[in-house]
């Protein structure tokens, strides 16, 4: 009886011309050469280096968020292409096609859910990836450029999600996109409602918003434009940037610092690849189960004549929408997001601290970590306020309050320097006064050469504020809530905007110092304006009607 020699059969198969023509390399012997060859000989795996530092394998170091973001991008590409077979981007058919997906297409609802939820998850994953990269100092030399690419990829992720939001053509879509694109109309110079816009001849039918919408309101052209951007243009750009992003990680080498000097690197195959597989599989399972259990929302068909109340932007932009309560659209919708993107890209070039590359370093990078995390927390806090605490007429509703509850109309607002405040020409006082305060705030931390005692400084400032509040309360001009707002928000602004910069960045060179302070003070201006607006009903601190500029 002839025995079945499996090893021999296996060897014959692997050595056959067919097998060898498809797969490079012969029988697997698990030698270092084999492992390296497995990475080098495979076009996809070749995105990895052959060896990495052991720290790069730590889940607590990487959080796996970069890989998970890419896995979500792949899920989105696959489900998106499948959805394209069923979807026609015209206002007569789009909504019906979504209904068809929901009710008639095999696995249609599942596909749509997976696409929707993966998109939401990707926004979160990309932000988490950025936070991890920041906290481990991975953007520092020589990886500044790749951090910039990453910021662009984050922006494009949000834009992809935003363009996709319109495609179901329901009430949710049309009004979220209306909110989002109306901000573009407030762009300075390029938007018809922005400062200097009318000077440049911007009208509703030739400004940047018009370009985005292909019309003066969200309509057929907008749907087609958003469809093409969502399915073709932006994914293409994202793909190109992703290649660049991956290639630079490979070339600049992964950021993880060695545990010990001269430590030996480990093979990517199988140590890193198996972790990546598990992360990707867990992502797929997570998205699948989420898609089975919860259906994507679909409201009534889009109707430009019926505005939903409240109308909210997609959740990741609701934070910016919440800023609209405190600032004019050109600041909330254009300047602030612009500063966020530019500021993020600038971070590697203004952060000269050489420490903390490739590991978590709270003690070694107190200023950078504190300010960055403050920004992230504020971003999500504003999203929470806008998403969960704003009801009809964008009034403030606590989570336990029913939206059926009647809210009294908000008290009338006033402006400090302007026609509705001190007087019609009070900007002649307001501009130099606020300019002087701003300049002092910007310059003083550096001009005071020696480090001040933070505790004394903070105590003194809070004491002054408390005195002010006490006088106000004694005069009956201020109540306890207002005093609380004043102490908390203005105190916090002083701590993060003055005490910390004074302690940590006064030694920076002037250009870097000034850029940093612009970012710091504009972040603090949000807290200060929230205090002014929520507690004291101040609409603007300074209005210049002639230029349609209000602050």
Partner 1 sequence: MSYRKAFIASNALMLAAFVWAFAKDFNAEWKPYQKQYYQMAADEMEKQAAAEKDEKKAAELKAEARKMRRTPLEIKQIIANDLGRFDRCVTCHVGMDEYTNTTLKNSFTEHPYKAHPKVDTALIKAHPFSKFGCTSCHSGQGLATQVDAAHGWVKHWEKPMLKGATIQGSCVKCHDNFETLKGAEIAAEGKKLFNKHGCQGCHAINGVGGVVSVELGDIADKPFERIAGYNFKKIRIDGKELPNEHHNNHWNLQNWIRAHLVNDPAAVTPNDPFAHYNAEPIPPSGMPDFREELSAEGAEAITTYLSGLTKEEIIPYRYHVTAAKAREPQLTGAANGKRVYEKYGCQGCHGLDAKQGRRRFNAAGEGQKEYDEKL
Residues of this chain that interact with partner 1 (CB under 8 A) are 96, 99-100, 102-104, 106-107, 109-110, 170-171, 274-275, 277-278, 281-282, 284-285, 288-289, 291-292, 298-300, 303, 306-309, 392-393, 403-404, 406-409
Quote the least distance from Cβ 297 to partner 1, whole Å: 9
CB nearer partner 1, residue 260 or residue 409: 409
Bridge partners (DSSP) listed for residue 170:
301
CB nearer partner 1, residue 104 or residue 243: 104
CB nearer partner 1, residue 307 or residue 507: 307
Quote the least distance from Cβ 288 to partner 1, whole Å: 4
Quote the least distance from Cβ 399 to partner 1, whole Å: 18
Quote the least distance from Cβ 13 to partner 1, whole Å: 23
Quote the least distance from Cβ 172 to partner 1, whole Å: 9
- Distance from C-alpha of 416 to C-alpha of 420, rounded to nearest angstrom: 7
Strand duo 414-417 + 538-544: pairing? parallel
Q: 489: which residues sit within 8 A by CB, 6+ positions away?
A: 527, 528, 530, 531
CB nearer partner 1, residue 97 or residue 207: 97
DSSP 170: B
Quote the least distance from Cβ 102 to partner 1, whole Å: 8
As separate numbers, helices (DSSP H) first and strands (DSSP E) second, the chain gives: 23, 5
* DSSP per-residue letters across 30-97: --HHHHHHHHHT-TTGGGS-SEE-GGGG-HHHHTTHHHHHHHHHHHHHHHHHHHHTT---STTTHHHH
Quote the least distance from Cβ 298 to partner 1, whole Å: 7
Quote the least distance from Cβ 190 to partner 1, whole Å: 29
- Distance from C-alpha of 529 to C-alpha of 415, rounded to nearest angstrom: 12
- Distance from C-alpha of 298 to C-alpha of 279, rounded to nearest angstrom: 30
- Distance from C-alpha of 301 to C-alpha of 295, rounded to nearest angstrom: 17
CB nearer partner 1, residue 95 or residue 441: 95
CA 415 to chain CA centroid, Å, is 31
CB nearer partner 1, residue 181 or residue 291: 291
* Encoded tokens for 263: 């430590």
- Distance from C-alpha of 524 to C-alpha of 496, rounded to nearest angstrom: 8
CB nearer partner 1, residue 201 or residue 412: 412
CB nearer partner 1, residue 80 or residue 150: 80
- Distance from C-alpha of 187 to C-alpha of 208, rounded to nearest angstrom: 8
CB nearer partner 1, residue 219 or residue 392: 392
* Encoded tokens for 498: 């003055």
* Encoded tokens for 38: 């497995």
As to burial, measured by CB atoms within 10 angstroms (0-12 exposed, 13-18 middle, 19+ buried), residue 495 is: middle
Quote the least distance from Cβ 542 to partner 1, whole Å: 28
Bridge partners (DSSP) listed for residue 52:
266
CB nearer partner 1, residue 137 or residue 168: 168
Quote the least distance from Cβ 17 to partner 1, whole Å: 31
Quote the least distance from Cβ 28 to partner 1, whole Å: 16
- Distance from C-alpha of 127 to C-alpha of 123, rounded to nearest angstrom: 6
Query: Nearest 5 degrees, angle CA 406-CA 408-CA 411?
Result: 160
Which of 133, 137, 136 lies closest to 351, judged by CA? 137
CB nearer partner 1, residue 281 or residue 547: 281
């Amino acid at each position: 009886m002839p025995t079945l020699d499996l090893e021999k059969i296996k060897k014959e198969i692997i050595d056959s011309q067919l097998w060898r023509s498809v797969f490079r390399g012969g029988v697997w012997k698990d030698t270092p050469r084999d492992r390296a060859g497995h990475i080098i000989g495979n076009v996809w795996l070749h995105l990895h280096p052959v060896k990495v530092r052991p720290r790069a394998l730590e889940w607590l170091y990487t959080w796996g968020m970069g890989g998970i973001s890419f896995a979500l991008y792949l899920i989105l590409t696959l489900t998106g292409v499948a959805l394209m077979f069923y979807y026609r981007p015209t206002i007569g058919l789009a909504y019906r096609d979504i209904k068809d997906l929901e009710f008639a297409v095999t696995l249609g609802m599942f596909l749509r859910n997976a696409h929707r939820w993966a998109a939401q998850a990707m926004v979160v994953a990309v932000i988490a990836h950025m936070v991890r990269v920041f906290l481990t100092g991975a953007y520092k030399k020589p990886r500044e450029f790749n951090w910039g690419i990453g910021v662009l990829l984050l922006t494009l992720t949000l834009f992809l999600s935003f363009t996709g939001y319109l495609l179901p053509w329901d009430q949710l879509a049309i009004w979220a996109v209306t909110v989002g694109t109306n901000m573009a109309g407030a762009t300075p110079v390029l938007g018809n409602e922005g400062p200097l816009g009318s000077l440049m001849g911007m009208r509703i039918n030739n400004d940047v918003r018009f370009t985005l919408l292909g019309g003066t309101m969200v309509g057929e052209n907008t749907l087609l434009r958003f469809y093409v951007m969502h399915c073709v243009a932006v994914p293409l750009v994202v793909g190109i940037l992703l290649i660049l992003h991956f290639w630079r990680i490979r070339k600049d080498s992964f950021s993880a610092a060695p545990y010990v000097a001269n430590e030996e690197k480990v093979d990517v195959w199988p140590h890193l690849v198996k972790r990546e597989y598990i992360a990707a599989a867990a992502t797929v399972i997570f998205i699948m189960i989420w898609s089975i259990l919860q259906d994507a929302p679909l409201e009534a068909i889009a109707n430009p004549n019926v505005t939903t109340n409240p109308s909210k932007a997609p959740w990741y932009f609701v934070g910016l929408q919440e800023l609209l309560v405190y600032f004019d659209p050109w600041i909330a919708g254009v300047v602030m997001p612009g500063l966020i993107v530019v500021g993020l890209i600038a971070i590697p070039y203004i952060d000269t601290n050489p420490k903390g590359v490739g590991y978590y370093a709270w003690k070694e990078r107190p200023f950078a970590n504190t300010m960055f995390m403050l920004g992230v927390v504020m971003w999500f806090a504003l999203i929470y306020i806008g998403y969960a605490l704003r009801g009809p007429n964008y009034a403030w509703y606590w989570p336990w309050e029913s939206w059926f509850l009647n809210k009294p109309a908000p008290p009338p607002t006033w402006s400090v320097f302007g026609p509705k405040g001190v007087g019609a020409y009070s900007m002649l006082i307001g501009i130099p006064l606020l300019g002087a305060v701003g300049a002092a705030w910007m310059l003083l931390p550096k001009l005071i050469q020696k480090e001040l005692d933070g505790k004394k400084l903070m105590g003194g400032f809070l004491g002054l504020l408390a005195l002010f509040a006490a006088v106000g309360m004694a005069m009956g001009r201020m109540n306890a809530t207002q005093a609380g707002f004043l102490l908390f928000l203005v105190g916090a602004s002083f701590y993060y905007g003055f005490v910390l910069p004074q302690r940590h960045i006064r030694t920076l060179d002037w250009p870097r110092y000034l850029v940093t302070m612009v970012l710091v003070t504009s972040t603090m201006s949000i807290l200060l304006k929230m205090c002014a607006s929520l507690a004291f009903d101040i609409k603007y601190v300074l209005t210049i009607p002639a230029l349609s500029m209000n602050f």
